[in-house]
Amino acid sequence: MNAIRASLVAQRARHLGPRMLSSSSTAPRRPDRTRASPQGNIGPSALSAHQVFAPLAKNRPVFKISKPITVIREPQQFYRDLLHGIKHARRRICLSSLYIGSDETQLISALDRALEQNPALQLCVLLDCLRGTRTDATGMSSAALLSPLVARFGAERVQVAMYHTPALSGLSKQAWPQRYNEAFGLQHIKAYVFDDEVIVSGANLSRDYFTNRQDRYMRIPDRQFTDYFAGLIATISQFSFRVLADDRASRYRLQMAPSVADPTREPRAFIREANERMAEFLQRAELEHAVEAGAVSEHDTLAIPTVQMRQLGITQDEAHMAEFFDLVNTFARSHGCRSLMASAYFNFSDQYKRSVLDSASRWDLLVASPQANGFYTAKGISQFIPDMYSIIEHEFVRAASARARGDISIEEYARAGWTFHGKGVWCYLNQKLPQLTMIGSPNYGYRSIYRDLEAQVTVILGSAQLQTDIHQEALGLLSHSKIVSQDELQQRARGSPLWLHGLKPFIMKKM
């Protein structure tokens, strides 16, 4: 713990030890982390992280990553890496995002040049249909932005897919306007493939994510691991609408493959067909990339991808997270443990909140402050969403206080002029550096489990350098955060409109 303290003093940041929940109106006092923990032995365990987390590798694809993994820290570097990947790709570019900003002409121009200069290059883009066809004030959308590439290079080289949730069909689809219809479910997976490396992230492809919207990004250079994500994107694209060029003013049209049911007309048939394709992909990946326990050493870095598509009957990540919480709890009871969990929004699902409250591990929860929430400057009812998250935070802090869980705290990211969109997990077991991290698209809320298509990667860290990089990433995020007290949250909750409390159950399931 002293090493963490020294590191943070040097960087003017906070460290990852336990934080006390304060009921006073003053700033919470940080406890002395040099004292022994009541949760068990604080010394190193004889068990390695690979042994502790071995069950996570069962019945799931596992990849040994031999080349160095790069942890990208800032959105500007993320954008530079995207442009570098596009420029140097020779065989394939696969981009999976919620949407592409309608003003991202520089990104589209880079794709255009890459396709022109490399005749063998294939481009596939997977976006959400509802978000990707939503128009801005000028009538532009992600689909309209990409359709000229389809027209110029042909649908064989440029495949643009738009996944549409089966939960919005028939009269409901006609009744719900743009933006609000996105509450029914979205394609939320963020992965960016360039030949044999992939950037796994939670960031979308728009200007704020390239400048002042903080997320997480990890570049993984491994052929087989990259093949997995390229295959995942290709599989989802099989049951998604295709964007085709059109000479009319709309500039594009959407077409579903003849062999797949239209989710807006035949949602049940669509779910059945999509489930079959996804199940086949996941089963094949598991068989082809199984790792025997005896073939793994504590110096191996392992990447375990998981997906969640409950609307399609796929609950892999949900089961994975439940197992992770159980493993951490079991370890913490005997050895002590500390963990950090981040989300763009304090809207963790009930099962995840229960898992944290019931866990023997210390927990820090990192979320956006109201000012760093993407909805802070929104108009209409959306402007009250940050207030809603404060209400939910206050309820959770009260629950933790009632259980005398002084080792659970909430940190809020607050950086002038920035918003926060990071998500993931850092698990330290009882060591000074993390042994595991999770990174990807889930915000760990109701939507992530029940409505959206999500993918994340659990990385068991075998390299001391990678452990240090992941630790520094966490410290960097926490350096812009502050502990929020119970009194502060109570004041926010009391200052919120009464009707907002009544809408809480609805918003918790939609946001």
Q: What is the helix (H) or strand (E) element at residue 335, kind and residue range?
A: helix 316-335
For 389, the token pair is: 């998250």
Q: How far is residue 161's CA from residue 127's CA, in Å, rounded to a whole number?
A: 6
Helix (H) or strand (E) run with residue 10 in it: helix 2-11
Helix H or strand E encompassing 80: helix 75-88
Whether residue 208 lies in the annotated active site: no
Q: Specify whether the CB–CB gap between 278 and 234 falls below 8 A.
A: no
If one counts every other C-beta atom within 10 angstroms of the C-beta of residue 236, the result is 24
**Half-sphere CA count of 5, side-chain side, radius 13 A:** 9
Yes or no: say if 302 and 64 are a contact pair by the CB < 8 Å rule: yes
Burial class of 138 by CB neighbour count within 10 A (0 to 12, 13 to 18, 19+): exposed
The reply to whether 262 belongs to the active site is: no
Residue 365 contacts residue 471 (beta carbons within 8 Å)? no
β-sheet bridge partners, residue 410: 365
What DSSP letter does each residue of 130-159 carry, written as one string?
HHHT---TTS--HHHHHHHHHHHH-TTTEE
Among candidate residues 15, 50, 164, 190, the one labeled active-site is 190
Other beta carbons within 10 Å of 465: 10
Q: Which of 81, 112, 195, 364 is catalytic?
A: 195
Rounded to whole angstroms, the Cα distance separating 334 from 217 reads 33
**195 annotated active-site:** yes
The single residue of 50, 188, 394, 421 carrying the catalytic annotation is: 188
DSSP-derived letter for residue 443 is -
User: What is the residue-wise DSSP string for 258-317?
Assistant: TTS--TTT-HHHHHHHHHHHHHHHHHHHHHHT---GGG--TT-EEEEEEEEBGGGTB-HH
Q: Which residues does the annotation mark as catalytic? A: 188, 190, 195
